[in-house]
Amino acid sequence: MGKTQKTTSTGQVINKKPLKKRIWNNRGFYLMFLPIFIYVLITLYWPMLGIRYSFYDYTLKKIEFVGLKHFEKMFSDAEFWSAFTNTLWLSITKLLITTFTAVIVSVFINEMANLFAKKVLQTVIYLPHFMSWTVTAAVFTLFLSTSSTGFINETLKSWGLISQSIDFMHETKLWRWVYYIVNIWKETGWGTVIFLATLAGINPEIYEAADIDGASRLQKIWYVTVPELANTIIIVLILNLAKVLNLFESVFVMYNNRVFEVSDVISTYIYRKTFLTAIPNYGYTTAVGLFKSLVGCLLVIICNRASKKIRGRGII
């Protein structure tokens, strides 16, 4: 017959057709999948062959094998370590703040009795997610400007809180706070979608039992809502922690020369070394990118193990 038998853990015997036969029977699905498979190979895997240039001096004039020279240069470069530290600091802090804010807003929306007001508020806070980072940065730069068009500075002056305009976008002590606020404004709405979906799945009988026990609204939030959200919060943190080094666009459109000390991240560091250098060495920037990828891979492995311990199953 050409079939193979497989016994499950329950003792049930399953007859399986040979692999070639199964592929032929499902050839329509494989043909539909083929264009996507080719696209992924060309756009995602083929460029990975370029990591070999991490071990070469690759300029417009020459390609010469240099071994680990670029890694030695990278690890001895204070500017690189500053960018690496900034990447971790900005990404992790942003992740914690935006997640916490999304949880608070989700609980607040969930507690609203007026369905129409709830839908309007959810839509309003979700809309900024669809704005590009370029537009977002332009809007906040205009609001925080030191000129007469700067709404924030002019308002603070009219209230008598300040006498001179504050240069929010060019002060190293203030830039990170501005960055976090902009991220809260833009990304909180997306986070609420995930948490509101979780809240919608909570069994109403749990709240009814809490009402019978005489729990107040705050007690129900603390002892019912928050524990039900805990698993989702952990999943969101673990999944996003694996992407903390992928920080570029949000920083690139907001930083400037005066705040490099606190805003330069690995991706902007690579950008400057590649496109803002008279004679760029593509081998060096490829080495930095490879190091970033390896650290990102390590974070994924760590997050996967943490997920197995917390949730009982991994993320990959």
- Rounded-to-integer distance, Cα 2 and Cα 17, Å: 7
| Cβ proximity of 232 and 106 under 8 Å | no
Nearest to 263 by CA among 188, 187, 178: 178
DSSP E strands in the chain: the ranges are 4-7, 13-16, 56-58, 63-65
Q: What angle do CA 129, 135, 139 make, to 5 degrees?
A: 100
CA distances in angstroms from 139 to 132, 135, 151, 199, 263, listed in the order given: 11, 6, 11, 33, 19
First to last CA, the chain: 37
| Cβ proximity of 202 and 228 under 8 Å | yes
- Rounded-to-integer distance, Cα 59 and Cα 61, Å: 5
Nearest to 202 by CA among 223, 216, 182: 223
CA distances in angstroms from 314 to 96, 195, 229, 310, listed in the order given: 21, 20, 19, 9
What local confidence, expressed as pLDDT, does residue 85 receive? 93
List average pLDDT for each run of 10 residues in the chain, which is 316 residues long.
Answer: 56 67 86 92 89 88 88 93 93 92 90 85 89 91 86 89 87 92 91 87 85 85 86 82 85 90 92 87 91 87 78 66
What superfamily does domain 95-136+184-311 belong to in CATH? MetI-like (1.10.3720.10)
DSSP code of 60? S
In which region does residue 145 sit, left (phi positive, over 0), alpha (psi from -120 to 50) or beta (all else)? beta
Q: What's the predicted TM-score (pTM) here?
A: 0.82
What local confidence, expressed as pLDDT, does residue 235 receive? 81
| Cβ proximity of 244 and 88 under 8 Å | yes
Domain ranges of the chain: 95-136+184-311
CA distances in angstroms from 262 to 100, 148, 222, 257, 267, listed in the order given: 23, 27, 37, 10, 14
